Amino acid sequence: MPTFADLGLSKPLLDALAHLGYERPTPIQEQAIPELLAGRDVIGQAQTGTGKTAAFGLPLLEFVDPEDQEVQALVLTPTRELCIQVTQALRAYGERRGVEIVAIFGGAPIRDQAAYLRQGAQVVVGTVGRVMDMMSRHFLVLSDARYVVLDEADEMLDLGFLEDVETILSRCPSGRQTALFSATIPLEISRLAEQRMFDPVTIKVRAETLTIDTVDQFYVEVGVREKAEALARVLKSERPDQAIIFVRTKIGADRLARALGDRGVRVKALHGDMTQGSRDGVMLAFKGGRERLLVATDIAARGLDISGVSHVVNYDLPNSPDLYVHRIGRTGRVGRSGRAITLVTPKQRRDLAAIERHANTEIVEWSANGGPPPSEAEARRDGEPERAPRDEKRERRQPRRPRHTKPHAREDGDRAKLMIGAGRADGLEPADVIGAIVDHSHLEGEDVTGVRVLERFSFAEVPFRRAEEVVKKVRGKRVRGTELELEVTGR
């Protein structure tokens, strides 16, 4: 196998890679880096987790001149989270070259980002919406940006950004070098490449197959308010060598880490809002086995590939079968068996069944002895007190709850889609949307589904018969300093 030195990279970058512990290039790096160093346009079809940031980032850092204060390279990303991740990676790779890298994204003050640009930046990493905004205000000039990367181009298409991408590319020099990376290449992306790239080399790399054949899979049904307690109970019973506990949001990661700490469980959180130094410290401690338990968001955990992970816990149910497979594929590596445990609320049982169907797998109910729950007869034989026969249908409708909480009637039936006139550009995250609706109406978090936060708008689904009530009660409320405007857009 070739080394990074064999690919033609300079000593400062090789030193940085060695310092970061990178030993051998991944397939996408091995194929894309020489082509990009040779000045060719490249289309890289690769999934997340294949190492594509280094594949386009290392040639980019070779290309820029640290002595020139103009913006020489631009990386476009569809989301704030990816923008931050790419920026952190490029800063780590380019530290020994003295290259200035500025991130521009929604949710942060434009004035501060404009100041960073004025101080001089050779590389700009930005979300599509914020780059358009900065160009319109003349804070960002791309006339010298001769190296342009479109990262996760298919997601830009899904979010409706392709027209803005065309506009941004039109502001860059016609003789630029362009790299386009995408998990899929739909027709619209092909057209963009044909119109905006010069004789591109196409590289297709499949992600390492994540097998779940060696992973025993379980679920724990639990009420929303009892999830943290249930997780602590699972961890105490399972005693994992190392476990990654997946949550949906950065706020949720911090909240869960605190809740487990209060219960005497030592964990570390990992998410995109942490400083680079903090993230590196947590990653190194976990990779080195000094920390056993990690609470992480999906994006933050992308770089974790550790053979010693014995357990994966889905504290928050993943929103797709592919993400489920990707998460639990972090265990059961290198011939070892692994265990995956998913916490589900009664309302999520249908979602869990969908994951089973689409991932072609079986997820059985967890019990402390590692097998299926004991029958009533087995429980009595093991010395547990006899319990009244369960009315399973009734329990599915009405889960047990602490006495100080009121039962919450399940909201079934039709759903209504709401549009909220604020998005990532206003600093909103899915947790903010759910929180605003829950805080100002009589709904609970489980009643709010289908949450999507785009650059300037957000969407959520609520029970149809409650939609107008939600709009009336939440309209005008302020979240992160932004007054919310809501309307029902469909059902």
232, pLDDT greater than 50: yes
106 and 11 together in one domain? yes
Return the axis-axis angle of helices 52-63 and 11-20, rounded to nearest 10°: 150
Burial class (CB in 10 A: 0-12, 13-18, 19+), 446: middle
pLDDT reported for residue 415? 84
Residue 376 pLDDT grade (very low, low, confident, very high; cuts 50, 70, 90): very low
Q: How many residues are given for the chain?
A: 491
100 and 73 together in one domain? yes
The position carrying tokens 């998990």 is: 183
Instruction: Tell me the CATH number at 25.
Output: 3.40.50.300
| Domain boundaries, position 231 | 215-372
**DSSP-derived secondary structure for 358-415:** HHT---EE--TTSSSPPPHHHHHHTTPPP-PPP-HHHHHHS----TTS-------S-E
Residue 305 pLDDT grade (very low, low, confident, very high; cuts 50, 70, 90): low
Residue 394 domain-assigned (yes or no): no
Please count the structural domains in the chain. Answer: 3
165 and 310 together in one domain? no
Q: Which of 173, 204, 235 is the last residue of a domain?
A: 204
Tens of pLDDT, residue by residue over 103-114, are 999 878 889 999
**Distant-in-sequence, close-in-space partners of 75: CB < 8 Å, separation ≥ 6:** 56, 57, 60, 86, 90, 123, 124, 125, 126, 148, 149, 151
Q: Which residues pair with 137 in a beta bridge?
A: none
Instruction: Tell me the CATH number at 479.
Output: 3.30.70.330
Tens of pLDDT, residue by residue over 185-221, are 888 999 999 999 999 999 988 655 455 677 899 999 9
Q: Where are the alpha helices (DSSP H) in 263-343?
A: 276-287, 321-328
pLDDT reported for residue 244? 94
| Pick from 120-134, 338-352, 446-460: least confident | 446-460
pLDDT reported for residue 82? 84
165 and 281 together in one domain? no
Residue 26 pLDDT grade (very low, low, confident, very high; cuts 50, 70, 90): confident
Residue 401 domain-assigned (yes or no): no
Task: Report which of residues 391 and 368 the model is more confident about.
Answer: 368
Mean pLDDT of the chain: 82
Mean pLDDT within 277-301:
82
146 and 248 together in one domain? no
Return the axis-axis angle of helices 349-359 and 321-328, rounded to nearest 10°: 80
Q: According to the per-residue pLDDT averaged within each range, which of 32-41, 255-264, 281-290, 362-371 is highest? A: 32-41
Q: How far apart are alpha carbons 92 and 87 in whole angstroms?
A: 9
Q: How far apart are alpha carbons 44 and 36 in whole angstroms?
A: 11
Helix, strand or coil for residue 313?
Answer: strand
486-490 and 147-151 as β-strands: parallel, antiparallel, unpaired? unpaired
Task: Report which of residues 336 and 253 the model is more confident about.
Answer: 253
297 and 346 together in one domain? yes
172 and 232 together in one domain? no
Tens of pLDDT, residue by residue over 53-91, are 999 999 999 999 999 989 999 999 988 878 988 998 899
